[in-house]
Amino acid sequence: MNYNNFSFKNSVSINDDFAMYTDIISSYVLEHPVHSDKVYIGFCLEGYAVMEINLVKHKLVKNEFIAMAHNHIIFHHEISEDFRLVMFSYSKSFWGEMLNEIRKYPLYILFKQKFPSVMLQDVEMEQCMDYFNLLWKVMNDTPNESRRDVVKNLLCSFLINIHLYANRGSEKHMPISRKEEMIGSFFSLIFEHYKEAKDVAFYADKLCVTPQYLSVLVKKIVGKTAKECIDDYIILEIKVLLNSSLSIQEISQQLNFPNSSFFGKYFKGHTGETPLNYRKSRLK
């Protein structure tokens, strides 16, 4: 998903690494689910938008912020005529440049909540818009040779505040623990490697822990085992691809299943229906 496809009044960017957008001005509804190509953070100023993220449907309303991770599956159903949105996006490489400053304050809602959004109090929304407006001014100061560094530092402060808002009312007022940080890394690895890796051992090895430890930890924090989380994301991906023009065999090959028969059994085992029946039901 590339938000350049939206109609915005204004946008500004630093190469393909960081971009800001203001005021969507035309209704835009996706015809089918798509993947987010970057991390997107949006703030609803007016109106509403009905959308799905990873097949969970939600109505985004005024004073609500939404976070969409790289490779999240997005689907817009409806956008009101008075919908106003500001948002920014950043690439994985840009995130890497900020990692040392921000790693203790990840957007945990990207992984723990069914729908990654949080209602803001008025004062919180005002503070977010103060940051956004300041970032916008710096982004437009193109003669400034230090613009990129200034933007990174402002964005780090901005994201730390968002982290605190997202965890308001919980015990997470302090930076998250190493265990919770590992959960975020686990989901990031799934988004990156789901096509070639479907077993817990692969991800445990990347995280330098045992498969048993990873599964117990994920179950404790997320409520599902590590294997269930991997399978859930792969099933979401299959459902997205079944809405495309790809054949069943092509989808099987793209997701690195041994063959179409194994692919069909895998999908049916998790959904109760064959890929073909699922595709037909979506076309009705």
Q: Which residue numbers in the chain have pLDDT < 70?
A: 1-9, 24-33, 54-55, 99-100, 103-114, 168-177, 282-284
**Same domain as 142, residue 7:** yes
State the alpha helices, DSSP H only, in the chain: 92-102, 109-112, 122-139, 147-166, 178-193, 200-207, 211-222, 226-242, 248-254, 260-271, 275-283
On the CB side of 28, CA atoms within 13 Å amount to: 17
User: Residue 145 belongs to a domain with what CATH number?
Assistant: 2.60.120.280
What's the CA gap between 122 and 275, in Å, rounded?
A: 46
**Same domain as 48, residue 114:** yes
User: Does some domain include residue 176?
Assistant: no
User: Does some domain include residue 79?
Assistant: yes
- 261, 249 in Cβ contact below 8 A? no
**Same domain as 129, residue 235:** no
What local confidence, expressed as pLDDT, does residue 98 receive? 77
What local confidence, expressed as pLDDT, does residue 31 receive? 57
User: Does some domain include residue 274?
Assistant: yes
Positive or negative, the CA dihedral 127, 129, 134, 139 is positive
Query: What pTM, to 2 d.p., does this model score?
Result: 0.65
**Dihedral Cα 257, 259, 261, 267, nearest 10 deg:** 10
What local confidence, expressed as pLDDT, does residue 173 receive? 44
Residue 65, classed as helix, strand or coil, is strand
User: Does some domain include residue 177?
Assistant: no
**Same domain as 137, residue 235:** no
* CA terminus-to-terminus distance, the chain: 25
User: Does some domain include residue 59?
Assistant: yes
**Same domain as 162, residue 195:** no
pLDDT digits (tens, 9 = 90+) for 209-246: 999 999 999 888 777 889 998 998 888 788 878 877 88
User: Does some domain include residue 96?
Assistant: yes
What local confidence, expressed as pLDDT, does residue 100 receive? 65
**Same domain as 146, residue 207:** no
**Same domain as 208, residue 138:** no
**Same domain as 79, residue 16:** yes
**Same domain as 81, residue 47:** yes
**Same domain as 60, residue 116:** yes
What's the CA gap between 89 and 43, in Å, rounded?
A: 12
- 172, 165 in Cβ contact below 8 A? no
Please give the tally of structural domains in the chain.
2
pLDDT digits (tens, 9 = 90+) for 69-106: 777 778 777 888 888 888 888 887 787 777 667 766 65
What local confidence, expressed as pLDDT, does residue 6 receive? 42
Share the mean pLDDT of the chain: 82
User: Does some domain include residue 182?
Assistant: no
**Same domain as 159, residue 266:** no
What local confidence, expressed as pLDDT, does residue 118 receive? 85
**What is the domain range of residue 42?**
3-166
**Same domain as 196, residue 154:** no
